Structure 1
Amino acid sequence: MVTTSRAADGRLDARPATAPAGPPLEPGVSALDLGPGAEVLLAVPPGEVAALLVCFHGAGGSGADALRAVGDAAAARGVVVLAPTSAAATWDLIAGGLGRDVAVLDAALGAVFARLPITRVALGGFSDGGSYALSLGVANGDLVEAVTAFSPGFLAAPGRYGRSRFWIAHGTDDRVLPVQRCGRRVAADLTADGYPVEYREFAGGHVMTPDLVDDALTWWLDPS
């Protein structure tokens, strides 16, 4: 069930359970039943799972788009993927203020935590989804251990809790969200605030490529 009691603060209340109460979720891709208007895809790989990646799509996209971008690479590493679809054309933070999308995500996380023994949580996203992942990551560092942002535009966290670590990639030829005022600025601001940041630039445009996804997952799961 979706409630919006604290969603305007960008805070996520759901937390992993030491011993999930519900029966384990079956491997495969399914749509979570969270009520009218809530669209969230869940991909569970076979075998034991402990890590969960929430992936946010870009403006005009969908959870299916996000899942296509990261699903195979995540499954190969035994990572569960949660891929919500924004209520509007883009995420609530950008479309008028935090609320509905945060509440849907919180409900989705609660549903997953009740059925799977998750111990590691990361947020990721592309473009507007990257900005959303960064913002919610800063606001929920007491839950989210890492954030992977592909070609993000900005960071606008409503508050700061905990200390997530951040991986950011941006193309030097990005004509949608130029690297100088977007990726470089966001990385510099996070670094100045004392957050651990891995920043990578690549020769290319406004894209999220398989090799970048692989790099981001390796950085998250196997920190050196």
Structure 2
Amino acid sequence: MSDKDRVEAGRQDESWRSARAGRLRAHPGTPRAAGAPTGMHPLGVSLGHDGILYVPPGYRPDQPAPLAVMLHGAGGSARHGLDLLLPLADETGLLLLAPSSQGPTWDVIVEDFGADVHAIDQALAHAFEHYAVDPARVAIGGFSDGASYALSLGLGNGDLFRHIIAFSPGFAVPPRQLGTPRIFMSHGTEDRVLPIDRCSRRLMRVFERAGYDVNYREFEGPHIVPEEMMREAVHWWLAGAVH
């Protein structure tokens, strides 16, 4: 094995150790790749896993943009995660990164952190290398199992994610509590998939005791993301970003 190969192997080992600890290593910086295009881009070819990056037509490399990592529910796909905020991306200038879980749902929900953290870290590194992202406006969010995973990963990586958007989450199992990300959480009172009493209402009490800033909203409805909750979440996120 050449010295170059040994260095690369060491980097991969460290990357996987971080992933198993629920730790993301990628952070925004100055993009190194020039001429990054707008529109919708599948990430599978370059990163070896499913995922989608959406860049609005108004993106300008001299104006760092907000970026949200959006996570689908159990049995969903990257496109389901993307659709959670896609209707608002163009008018608000959002970069959207939607990975796909490596299994039927996100790793820690089945067993422990690992493959999905590694994939999300790779996808973030790709986005940060190609696009100018505002470090104060990096969020993670999701729906259902994706919301549970967003809370878990977001609370453990509060130095990266200043905001967490959780639509109808079930629980949170952060590997640690790092930083103090602000949390938006919404849930339907008629949810039969993840009942509100044992899910978001319980989580709200936990977060309040821990001292987190939480914007909590209930709505009359089932296990869905109403458009008004989507819009309120994005307005809350962008209005509350501190540079």
> Do they fold alike, i.e. is TM over 0.5?
yes
**Is the Cα–Cα contact under 8 Å of residues 34 and 108 in structure 1 kept in the other structure?**
no
2:53 maps to which of 24, 42, 55: 42
Higher relative contact order (CA 8 A, sep 6+): 1
CA drift of 1:212 comes to 1.1
- Deviation for aligned residue 1:117: 1.1
Amino acid in structure 2 at the alignment position of 1:39: D
User: 2: CA distance between counterparts of 1:24 and 1:75?
Assistant: 19
- C-alpha contact (below 8 Å) 2:47/2:122 kept by paired residues: no
| Aligned-pair CA distance for 1:25 | 2.1
Q: Does 1:8 align with 2:20?
A: yes
SS of 1:222 mapped into structure 2: helix
Aligned to 1:87: 102
Structure 2 residue 45 is matched with structure 1 residue 30: no
State the TM-score, normalized to the length of structure 2: 0.88
- Alpha-carbon distance in structure 2 between the residues aligned to 1:111 and 1:11: 17
- Does the residue aligned with 1:170 lie in a helix, a strand or coil? strand
1:186 match: 203
Q: Distance in 2 between matches of 1:177 and 1:24?
A: 44
1:190–1:34 CA distance, 2 compared to 1 (3 A): farther
The answer to whether the Cα contact below 8 Å between 1:24 and 1:116 also exists between their aligned partners in 2 is no
Counterpart Cα distance in 2 of 1:9 and 1:184 = 28
Q: Does 1:136 align with 2:171?
A: no
Q: Match for 2:66: what amino acid?
A: A
* Residue among 181, 191, 197 paired with 1:164: 181
Which protein is richer in helix relative to its size? 2
- Number of matched pairs: 222
Over the matched positions of the two proteins, sequence identity in percent amounts to 43
The structure 2 residue matched to 1:73, chosen from 88, 108, 115, is: 88
Q: Name the TM-score, length of structure 1 as normaliser.
A: 0.95
Q: Please state how far the C-alpha of 1:34 moved relative to its aligned partner.
A: 4.0
Residue type of the alignment partner of 1:99: G
- What is the aligned-residue RMSD (CA, Å)? 1.5
**How far does residue 5 in structure 1 lie from its aligned partner after superposition?**
2.6
- Structure 2: state its 5+ residue gaps: 1-10
- Regions of 4+ moved over 2 Å: 33-36
How far apart, in 2, do the equivalents of 1:195 and 1:184 lie?
Answer: 15
Partners of 1:24 and 1:141 in 2: how far apart? 30
Structure with bigger gyration radius: 2
SS of equivalent residue, structure 1 residue 177: coil
Letter in 1 for 2:172: L
State how far apart, in whole Å, the 2-side matches of 1:26 and 1:187 are. 40
